[in-house]
Chains A and B, each alone.
Chain A
Amino acid sequence: MADLIRSIAGHYNYWMFVILMMTGLFIVVSRGNLIKKIAGLNIFQTSVFLFYISMGKVTGGTAPVNTGRAGEVYSNPLPHVLILTAIVVGIATTAVGLALAVRIKESYGSIEEDVIEDMHRTERPA
């Protein structure tokens, strides 16, 4: 029991990653509002960042700054670097998504998916 608690507590940030990921996906799945969908997507992506950063953490390690002292344990810097890139990608995606949402709003007058679907249904020629 104690082991289990320690295992859960010890992998706390991994559990958060899973929860965030599920939350993000749930929002994407369940919300009809396009902006909310993008927000969900963002949460989802954030969970990925968290996942990478947790992965690079070495227990007891410091920040990966070369201090010159021998034998110092520091966290793996590479995932952090990678996630910087991923964050950029995430921002770009959000930007494009929001831009699209704007255009959708302009041409449909709504950003509710079911409203748009209704318009499509009536638009389709017999």
Chain B
Amino acid sequence: MIAGATAGFIAKHLPVLVVLVPLMAAPACLITGNRHATWAIATLASWTSFALTVALFIRVAGQGPLSYSLGGWAAPFGIEYRADALNAFILPLIAGIASFALPYARGSIGRDVEPRQQNLFYSALLLCLAGLLGVTITGDVFNIFVFLEISSLASYVLVAAGGGRDRRAFKAAFDYLIMGTIGASFFVIGIGFLYMATGTLNIADLAHRLATAPADRTVRMAYGFILVGIGLKLAMMPLHQWLPNAYSYAPPAVTAFLAATATKVSLYVLIRFLYTVFGLDDPFEAQTLKLLVMPLGIIGIFAASTVAIFQNDIRRMFAWSSIAQAGYMLTGIALMTPQGLAASLVNIVNHGLTKGALFMAVGMLTLATGTSRLSDLRGIGRTMPWTMAAILAGGLGLIGVPLTAGFISKWALVSAALDAGQWWLAGAVLLSSLLALGYVWRIVETACFGKADETRVIEPVPLAMVIPAWGLLAVSLYAGVQPALIMEGANAAARSLLPHLTGVGG
């Protein structure tokens, strides 16, 4: 009876519970204080919200979009939480990565954060998670800003947590803060313009009004500010400069979590604004995508991959690789076809999984050897074969070797480009894989065939790190072997965003 009532309650408030669980758990962590207990609370919260997101995904897949009015105020006046094919598809990724990152953090955070401050760390992590989930699920644009800032503020703190070991983390966090705030402010200015033009903040309502009203300069200003603001958050090419430092100096668990989720959520916001809110009705909007976003995406792929090749620090290398990967997703979005969009979504999930696992594996390497510099890791493949195998498997995913998730992403993007008749784009995407081969293989060659340093001391890697890393890697490999679920989810999302365009390909 009680169980039934609980289930009913959960079913009814599912959209808000997804955010609420981590949001409530965060102060709970703060209060609890004991690091073991906080860890347990945080993990439980992330697992719960993961379960909820999965339930939400199933619900949306089965019954279609789900609307929830916060506090009972109906949209467009109240704040609406709205789960549709797109965000129900992204949500499990965020919560899922958190579910892996938290156990991983337990094994690794001791290096960065003093035991008595770990409750703070966990609550920041939960806040960040809550913010990201909130951004994704809310149906109100200003609410997006608020959640974005919640997650951003939490992530500045999280990045700064790496300062215990390397003081450069402070500076990285500071830069991140400045840039993130500028981005968020741009975003909020854009929202202001939108509100000026339409008088509403609800996404569905905005979309409706913008579709009927002619696009004037105000809307275009809004578009410009939002594009740049979100572009900054997702590390679009010339706005990416905060990212390498932030990812390199943050604690490993944070890097893994942020790399797999933060930029991905920003991409989601971009997709949401481009396709739902603006709907690309104005030729100017499409033009901007074609003339600005697409070239920037491609420049990003090539430039960032090239930079990654020359990096000596593995974490930095993969951070640059993340910038390059964001380029792939941007080009997919800029294709403006259901296939392109689906490709981007597949890429978001697959890259999230792969990069998360990769940063976890690299974290293990760093923890065991005390360095992430490639020149100090010669021949490490002989002493840590399994960790190297994990890095190799993830790296192959970045290159796009078959049976990895990256292959599916690349497949989807290339076939989307071909379908759209963009031969050169397909070629560029594939050519850039060679650059990925370049940096992945630098690691493999140095680690497996370099002369090992005999005096190196290898510290044992706690199982708490090994299991999540391999678990996430396994998930990513599974996504490469059985891509049907992700592909279908992405296709459904793309279809729902571009209903006027049919003919969805693989």
Q: Whose C-beta in chain A lies nearest to the C-beta of B157?
A: A96
Q: Is the CB of B174 within 8 A of A28?
A: no
Interface extent on A, as a size class? Answer: 20 to 34
- Does any Cβ of A come within 8 Å of B352's Cβ? no
Quick one: which of A34, A82, A125 contacts B142, CB cutoff 8 A?
A82
Q: Would you give the shortest CB distance from A56 to chain B, in whole angstroms?
A: 9
Q: Is the CB of B178 within 8 A of A125?
A: no
Contacts A41-B178, A41-B182, A55-B195 given; does A104 touch B170 at CB 8 Å: yes
Q: Is the CB of B153 within 8 A of A93?
A: yes
- Does any Cβ of A come within 8 Å of B167's Cβ? yes
Q: Is the CB of B185 within 8 A of A45?
A: yes
The residues of B that contact A28 with a CB separation of less than 8 Å are 178, 182
Q: Whose C-beta in chain A lies nearest to the C-beta of B191?
A: A82
Q: Is the CB of A37 within 8 A of B178?
A: yes
Q: Give the B interface residue count (CB, 8 A).
A: 28
- Does any Cβ of B come within 8 Å of A48's Cβ? yes
- Complex: how many Å from CA A12 to CA B406? 53
Q: Is the CB of A100 within 8 A of B174?
A: yes
- Does any Cβ of A come within 8 Å of B431's Cβ? no
Q: Would you give the shortest CB distance from A64 to chain B, in whole angstroms?
A: 15
Contacts A55-B195, A79-B195, A93-B153 given; does A103 touch B163 at CB 8 Å: yes
Q: Is the CB of A104 within 8 A of B142?
A: no
Quick one: which of A25, A79, A103, A108 contacts B182, CB cutoff 8 A?
A25
Interface residues of B in 260-295 (CB under 8 A from A): none
- Does any Cβ of B come within 8 Å of A85's Cβ? yes
Q: Would you give the shortest CB distance from B201 to chain A, in whole angstroms?
A: 8
Interface residues of A in 35-74 (CB under 8 A from B): 37-38, 41, 44-45, 48, 51-52, 55
Interface residues of B in 180-209 (CB under 8 A from A): 181-182, 184-185, 188-189, 192, 195-196, 201
Quick one: which of B167, B181, B201, B373 contacts A125, CB cutoff 8 A?
B373
The residues of B that contact A51 with a CB separation of less than 8 Å are 189, 192
Quick one: which of A52, A93, A97, A107 contacts B167, CB cutoff 8 A?
A107
Q: Interface 1/0s, chain B 144-155, versus A by CB < 8 A?
A: 011001000100
Q: Interface 1/0s, chain B 115-147, versus A by CB < 8 A?
A: 000000000000000000000000000100110
The residues of A that contact B146 with a CB separation of less than 8 Å are 85, 89
- Does any Cβ of B come within 8 Å of A101's Cβ? yes
Q: Would you give the shortest CB distance from B499 to chain A, in whole angstroms?
A: 30
Q: Would you give the shortest CB distance from A47 to chain B, in whole angstroms?
A: 8
Q: Is the CB of A100 within 8 A of B156?
A: yes
- Does any Cβ of B come within 8 Å of A120's Cβ? yes
- Complex: how many Å from CA A100 to CA B201? 33
Q: Would you give the shortest CB distance from B385 to chain A, in whole angstroms?
A: 26
Q: Is the CB of B142 within 8 A of A100?
A: no
Quick one: which of B149, B163, B192, B373 contacts A92, CB cutoff 8 A?
B149
- Does any Cβ of A come within 8 Å of B160's Cβ? yes
- Complex: how many Å from CA A17 to CA B173? 28
Q: Whose C-beta in chain A lies nearest to the C-beta of B148?
A: A89
- Complex: how many Å from CA A100 to CA B168? 11
Please list 9 pairs of residues, one from A and one from B, whose beta carbons are closer than 8 Å in the complex, sorted by A's number: A55-B196, A79-B195, A89-B184, A96-B157, A100-B174, A101-B174, A103-B163, A108-B170, A116-B171
10 new A-B pairs (CB below 8 Å) besides A44-B185, A93-B149, A100-B173?
A34-B174, A41-B178, A44-B182, A55-B192, A82-B201, A92-B149, A97-B181, A101-B174, A103-B160, A104-B167
Give me the interface of A with B, judged by CB distance under 8 Å. Answer: 25, 28, 34, 37-38, 41, 44-45, 48, 51-52, 55, 78-79, 82, 85-86, 89, 92-93, 96-97, 100-101, 103-104, 107-108, 116, 120, 123, 125
Which 7 pairs show the lowest CB-CB distances between chains A and B? A107-B167, A89-B149, A100-B174, A104-B170, A103-B170, A93-B181, A97-B177
